[in-house]
Amino acid sequence: MKVTRFAPSPSGRLHLGHAFSAALGHAHARASGGFFLLRIEDLDPGRCRPEFVNGIFEDLAWLGLAHDGAPIVQSHRTDLYAAALERLKADDLVYPCFCTRADIAQSLTAPHGDAGSGYPGTCRGLPDDPARRENTPHSWRLDAGKAIARAGLPRWTEEDGSGFESRRDDIGDAILARKDAPSSYHLACVVDDADTGVTLVVRGEDLRPSTPTQRLLQLLLGLPEPTYLHHPLVTHDDGRRLAKRDLAPTLGAMRAAGADGPLLAADLIEGRLPLGFRLSRA
């Protein structure tokens, strides 16, 4: 029995790529007599809008992809993420970071910046300064070096049985909580996948780079290990990614044009795409 989830961010209307991901997750759950969960990833206050949450419900209903149980709404669950962060703090695996985006951009272009990890490590190893933490907005970062020393480099298994090993360079000092958002995508994702009993994570290949960090967090927090299915992405025929500004492939536009939602969902899982689109490996 598989428990899958579809976890869109309500920062725009769903498009064909979302429909493919949701249809695939739904099919795996139903074929195994399991559950298909819907999770609204609305932790980024700058990008998420309530009207897009309604759009998600409407689009899934139109596709005929019923989810089990109530939707899981991340902005209602921040206590869980805070508790996980406290545990990582107690284990000395995270550190406060006071850098602004501009600081980071500047040090990455500096000659000694560690461009590979995306963060030069400026605040790693600073002596703890509770007064500064009290008075200065800051985020919390994973100390990837310490974490890997503790848990080892994580591995994961894909649904087809293939095994993957992460390399040191795959994991940086990821932000786990921000001043304006109580949890980052990575932390909320692993906490929720575990808390809701997800056994198969179905998502696009574009999210594969997140998997090493998320597997590492699962090891550090003692969470169960799901299997992963990173699927090809829906692109335009010429290989271009679907962008938020493309209106044609939104499900709302297809519905308005009279398309049949359940037929579209069934076609997508068979790999039959509407004219002008195809599945592409990243």
| Catalytically active residues, by annotation | 244
Residue 96 near ligand GLU by CB under 6 A: no
Residue 269 near ligand GLU by CB under 6 A: no
Minimum CB–partner distance for residue 258 and ligand GLU (Å): 27
Minimum CB–partner distance for residue 21 and ligand GLU (Å): 8
Residues sharing a CB contact under 8 Å with residue 4, sequence separation 6 or more, in sequence order? 25, 26, 28, 29, 34, 35, 36, 37, 198, 199, 200, 201, 202
Minimum CB–partner distance for residue 117 and ligand GLU (Å): 21
Q: What is the DSSP string of 109-134?
A: HSTT--GGGSS--TTTTPPP-HHHHH
Pick the closer one to ligand GLU by CB: 37 or 88: 37
**Residue type at 158?**
E
Pick the closer one to ligand GLU by CB: 123 or 223: 223
Pick the closer one to ligand GLU by CB: 189 or 242: 189
Which residue in 41, 59, 173, 192 binds ligand GLU (CB under 6 A)?
A: 41
**Helices then strands (H, E): number in the chain?**
10, 12
If you count them, how many residues does the chain have? 282
Q: How many residues bind ligand GLU (CB under 6 A)?
A: 7
Please say whether the beta carbons of 233 and 241 come within 8 A: yes
Residue 9 near ligand GLU by CB under 6 A: yes
Please say whether the beta carbons of 183 and 43 come within 8 A: yes
Q: Segment near ligand GLU (CB under 6 A), from 3-11, 138-146, 165-173, 268-276?
A: 3-11
Q: Segment near ligand GLU (CB under 6 A), from 2-10, 89-97, 227-235, 261-269?
A: 2-10
Pick the closer one to ligand GLU by CB: 114 or 158: 158
Q: Please list every residue from 158 through 197 that binds ligand GLU, using CB under 6 A.
A: 189
Pick the closer one to ligand GLU by CB: 137 or 224: 224
**Sheet hosting strand 94-97, strand order edge to edge:** 94-97, 139-142, 175-177
Residue 17 near ligand GLU by CB under 6 A: no
Residue 8 near ligand GLU by CB under 6 A: yes
Q: Segment near ligand GLU (CB under 6 A), from 1-9, 159-167, 234-242, 243-251?
A: 1-9
Report the relative pairing of strands 175-177 and 200-204 from DSSP bridges: unpaired
Minimum CB–partner distance for residue 207 and ligand GLU (Å): 5
Residue nearest to ligand GLU (CB): 203
Q: What is the DSSP string of 56-107?
A: HHHHHHHHT-PPSSSPEEGGG-HHHHHHHHHHHHHTT-EEEE---HHHHHHH
Residue 7 near ligand GLU by CB under 6 A: yes
Integer Cα distance of 13 and 236 in angstroms = 17
Which residue in 15, 28, 138, 203 binds ligand GLU (CB under 6 A)?
A: 203
H or E segment and range at residue 139: strand 139-142
Q: Can you give the binding site for ligand GLU, defined by CB under 6 A?
A: 7-9, 41, 189, 203, 207
